[in-house]
Structure 1
Amino acid sequence: MTLLKPKLITKLCGLVCSVSLFAANAQIIPSVPQINAKGYFLVDFTTGKVIASGDADTKLAPASLTKMMTSYVIGTEIVSGNIAPTDMVTISEKAWAKNFPESSKMFIEVGKKVSVDDLNRGIIIQSGNDACVALAEHIAGSEDAFADLMNAHSEKLGMTNTHFINSHGLDTDQHYTTPRDMATLGVALIRDVPEEYALYKEKSFTFNGIKQYNRNSLLWDASLNVDGIKTGHTSEAGYSLVTSATKDDMRLVSVVMGTTSERARMVESRKLLNYGFRFFETITPYKAGDSFAEQRIWMGNKETVSLGILEDTPITIPRGQRKNLQANFELDKTLEAPLAKGSKVGTLFLQLDGEEIAKYPLVTLEEIEEGSFFSKVYDYLRLQIMQ
């Protein structure tokens, strides 16, 4: 990522200072293309910026998108050490593949022992309903108890319009989600359980002599760098797809729910991703520890202190508009020593075309100790004169 090297504008207004990054004309962004789905959502993974949405909070049947939460729970259980990929799971009658004759399955057999790792791949790659029940029982004792875990994680993630009844997503009353909540879950999968998420890019999995291919056809799309996430389909839900793809420093998560066919969910998802990558970009103007400005400090053993931020500043902007950014900072008060390193002294604002798009705490990047007695008296007198 390219670090911006702005010049300090010497004009001060009270305790507000400006850093300018060249002026230019604003980029014209076209409207979001028409998305033929019951609901859709497009978000920048890194910044959380919502780029496009439609009926994003409409409650819809998730179908096999449900398995994203099943997978999330599995991933967190592995990370916490409660289960291991090498654990062997005895397949119960409830998890038997014969219980799911008209739906996707892994083809596991009752009484057989199957590893957590194989069952996990059976869920993610093969969308196996039987594998979902097997791991739900292994983790929580029953599918009902596992659904409680799913809902607890949903609440923790802020998925306020989601409720799960089962681990696989077959239609049932009070089993619903929204495009926005599915995007939240997609982001959480990538962020919280990266080893689990890495399985989503695998294109096929063979179990019990049966090779099945990942139903996410965008994994084969050479024009997009897609590495997940999940398809879903039932007669009630229609055809849905949550997708994540990367370009340069940008990762997008897209959701389309309730399209009319397998092809339609692929086409509509591609529309969203292409729109996001074509007209927007993720940049990081300043990184953690970068010095933003040297500011006068009084009563100290130095005359200036280096100010900056303690975190990266990723933002989503219209593509090509980096040069239009302006950074401003506002001090909370006149700076006086002593000041410890990392002390918050103000706020950094990032603006584009006069609109604030982000703000961060402005901190000292070094410790400033008190100066000598005489230098403090001198600074005190100067401050009195300036006031």
Structure 2
Amino acid sequence: MLKKATSMLVTLTLLFGLLISAAWAGPEKLAEDKKPALETSAEAAILLDYHSGQVMFSKNADKRLPMASVTKLMTMLLACEAEAKGEVKLNDVITASEHAAGMGGSQIYLEPGEEFTFQEMMIAIATGSANDASVAVAEHIAGSEEAFVQMMNDKAEELGLNNTHFTNPTGLPAENHYTSAADMAVILREALKYPLFRKVSGIYEYDLRDGEFKLWNTNKLLKWYRGCDAGKTGWTSEAKYCLAASAERDNLRLISVVLGCPQPKTHFQETIKLFNFGFARYQAVVLAKKAEKIKTAAVEKGMVDSIDVVTAEQVSVVVPRGGDKDIKGKIKLTPRLVAPVEKGQVVGEYTVVKDGKELKKVNLVAAAGVAKASPFRLMGKVMNKVYSMNK
């Protein structure tokens, strides 16, 4: 009887042990099968911080895919660069060629010989995704569409984009015309540097031809998502639904790119999902704005004795929410600054550190130029100094 009781006790103990083991095995398996923090139906996607370029989420970010009208971000980038250099002016009149007027797809139905200002053409590209306006601007800047496409590919190479190649400035289906989510994020990030791009990209509606032709921005997030102020949509049967967009909240500007979204409106839904993820989990810590005065530096042998030192770009870092403690800035200036000094000349650096670790480094530059003083002026300074000492 005692043996039976002992045997039953051992069996029960073993069974209980197995149950305990099974109970603890559950969480371990769940941990292995744990889903990623964010899922997207886009074939490729990326989310990053505008100022630092820090990537917060990516999926197939380097995969080469068709991009449809998101192509026009590069078209607008080159146009904005040309305007910034003074090569083209906002009120320049652009005359539509027969070739430009013959573009299909999204358009403003240009007639050969029809004229619009450069600014109106840019609005038509950004707001109405107009293929005919894109080609007209390309021809105006480069002389021909082919020459402009070469400029597009040269710019892609300059930006280090290894997974991008352009065949046209519109995004109409063509062989050897592709990009990646990561590359397109770089293009949008570059375009955002230009006030003209931000202006035209943020227009939601516009009256063309004295109100006879209404343009509505294809980027509906300008109305649907708080903080969204720039971007470009795209769709073809090959590329599916695409969107590159930017939004800013509480000094945190995000860039999102989604390519190959399967259904109508999913490019908006997936972009909102990415933006919500970024704004919920991260925060920007801004130590200084772009061109903010940081110090006054002494200048030797110059027409003036000192100069304002400003930041070359915004000094900010992105950290997980709640991780903004103990972030500090360290300023280091050039030991001796001798005239002549050029405006924008690097004269120091602003380093952001946390717990002794460097997070970011930004150049400090001269806010204005300082000419070298003449020998007579230098002699006068010496005399004034001697006089002051003997006073």
TM-score (norm 2): 0.70
Deviation at 1:204, TM superposition (A): 1.3
Structure with greater helix share of residues: 2
Do structure 1's residue 72 and structure 2's residue 77 form an aligned pair?
Answer: yes
Per-residue deviation, 1:357:
3.5
The CA distance in 2 between the partners of 1:117 and 1:309, in whole Å, is: 32
Note the residue ranges of structure 2 that are not aligned, 5 or more in a row.
1-34, 296-308, 339-345, 365-391
* CA shift digits 1:186-224 (9 cap, x unpaired): 111111x22222111111123241212101111112x52
Q: Distance in 2 between matches of 1:154 and 1:309?
A: 31
Letter of the 1:75 counterpart: C
- In structure 2, relative to structure 1, the CA distance for the partners of 1:40 and 1:109 (3 Å cut) is same
Q: Which has the higher contact order (CA 8 A, sep 6+)?
A: 1
Q: Which residue of 1 aligns with 2:207?
A: 206
172 and 289 in structure 1: CA distance in 2 versus 1, 3 angstrom threshold: same
SS at match of 2:100: coil
Q: Pairwise mapping of residues 1-387 of structure 1 onto structure 2 (< 5 A)?
A: 31-97=36-102, 99-100=103-104, 103-191=105-193, 193-208=194-209, 209-221=212-224, 223-285=225-287, 313-323=315-325, 325=327, 339-340=335-336, 350-351=353-354, 357-358=359-360
- How far the C-alpha of 1:161 sits from its partner, in A, is 1.5
One-letter code aligned to 1:174: N
- Shift of the alpha carbon at 1:60? 0.7
Matched pairs, number: 305
Residues 286 and 226 of structure 1: is their aligned pair in 2 closer, same or farther, counting only changes over 3 Å? closer
What SS is found at the alignment partner of 1:51?
A: strand
Check 1:90–1:358 CA distance in 2 against 1; reply closer, same or farther (3 A cut).
Answer: closer
Tell me the distance in 2 between the aligned counterparts of 1:89 and 1:120.
Answer: 11
Distance in 1, Cα, partners of 2:231 & 2:198: 8
Tell me by how many angstroms 1:158 deviates.
2.2
Distance between the aligned counterparts of 1:126 and 1:69, measured in 2?
Answer: 16
Per the TM alignment, residue 323 of structure 1 is displaced from its structure 2 partner at its CA by: 1.7
Q: Aligned equivalents of 1:216 and 1:121: distance in 2?
A: 13
SS at match of 1:134: helix
Between stretches 117-126 and 155-164, larger displacement belongs to 155-164
User: Which runs of structure 1 show a deviation greater than 6 angstroms over 4 or more consecutive aligned residues?
Assistant: 286-289, 308-311, 326-329, 341-347
Identity over the aligned pairs, expressed in percent?
33
Q: Which 5+ residue runs of structure 1 have no aligned equivalent? A: 1-29, 292-307, 332-337, 363-387
TM (norm. structure 1) is 0.71
- In structure 2, relative to structure 1, the CA distance for the partners of 1:359 and 1:206 (3 Å cut) is closer
Q: Call closer, same or farther: CA 1:340–1:174 in 2, change over 3 Å.
A: same
